[in-house]
Amino acid sequence: MAAIKPSSTIQENKQYALELCPVTYVMEKIGNYWKPIILFHVAKGPLRYSEIKRAIPAITEKVLIQHLKQLEADGLVIRESKPVVPPHVTYRLSASGKGLYPVIEAMAAWAFEERAGRFA
Amino acid sequence: MAAIKPSSTIQENKQYALELCPVTYVMEKIGNYWKPIILFHVAKGPLRYSEIKRAIPAITEKVLIQHLKQLEADGLVIRESKPVVPPHVTYRLSASGKGLYPVIEAMAAWAFEERAGRFA
DNA sequence: ACAAGTACTTACCCTAAAGTATGTATTATG
DNA sequence: CATAATACATACTTTAGGGTAAGTACTTGT
């Protein structure tokens, strides 16, 4: 665990925002390049770790597992493992994570509109 | 402009994702801690630079202007300046930026639900 | 004459996040 | 006995983004 530098303005923002700005609250949990992408795929149903990896070829295993752990810690995804060999682990959205459906869907919808040049 | 390191997997992802994953497409444009926060405020109507700054006390001026320029370059916000002294510059959402309303609103909605413990 | 206000710019430093590479446990299978 | 498969872990390096501090131009107010 890296020590937190208290003078960082992004740290200040955490305090401010949790009170006043709803979007900042969200960014604290999924304000990262990979997290929404991961959530988008995990939303498709319980997926095994390896399936998620295959769905996002460009992500490295370190970064993937790191974010999965974080998302789990933040209560957005649920990890389930069967005690078999080779290991069998699945990830799915929690109730809270499912609450992000509208966000993810709105993103996907915007991407299609944008690519179709419908805003131009 | 910093040179791009082509071996970065996040760079690879840009190619892959623009074709296949709509969420990645979105992350290319607003996949950053501050951008959605800025958009959330700019959505409230044409705002002066200083008003945006005041709305997000924790952000530094460098980072704010940097992202505003980027958002403008990506066609999400529109900058308008009146040639007066002191300068008068306003920022507002473009059609494309307004297309992100649902995303921003869904985020805000989720934040309230989450804080209210409605997913717990 | 000096500070204040606006919307920036620029140079430099630092850190958090990402990337690279390799290793681990367990069992089945050839 | 070595290899494959799964789901990670860990040490180390690199980079992009963020933070700090100072400066610019032009005018109004004191």
Choose the weakest-confidence range: B2-16, B55-69, B100-114. B2-16
> How far, in Å, is the CA of B7 from the C1' of nucleotide C6?
42
* Count of beta carbons in the 10 Å neighbourhood of residue B114: 21
Other beta carbons less than 10 A from residue B3's beta carbon = 5
Contacts for B101 with CB less than 8 Å, ≥ 6 apart:
B43
Looking at CA atoms only, how far is residue A49 from chain B in angstroms?
18
What's the pLDDT tens digit per position in A16-73? 666 679 999 999 999 999 999 999 999 998 999 999 999 999 999 999 999 999 999 9
Buried b / exposed e along B51-85 (16+ C-beta atoms within 10 A): ebbebbebbeeebbeebbebbeeeebbbeeeeeee
- Could you state, in order of their start, the residue ranges of all structural domains in chain B? 34-115
pLDDT at B17: 61
Domain B34-115 grouped into CATH 1.20.1250.20: no
Check residue B85 and give its pLDDT.
82
Give yes or no for a contact between B94 and B78, defined as CB atoms under 8 angstroms apart: yes
Q: Which CATH architecture has domain A9-115?
A: Orthogonal Bundle (1.10)
How close does chain B come to A73, measured CA to CA in Å?
Answer: 14
pLDDT digits (tens, 9 = 90+) for B48-92: 999 999 999 899 999 999 999 999 999 999 999 998 888 999 999
Most B CBs within 10 A among A23, A28, A29, A67, hence the mutation to make, goes to: A23
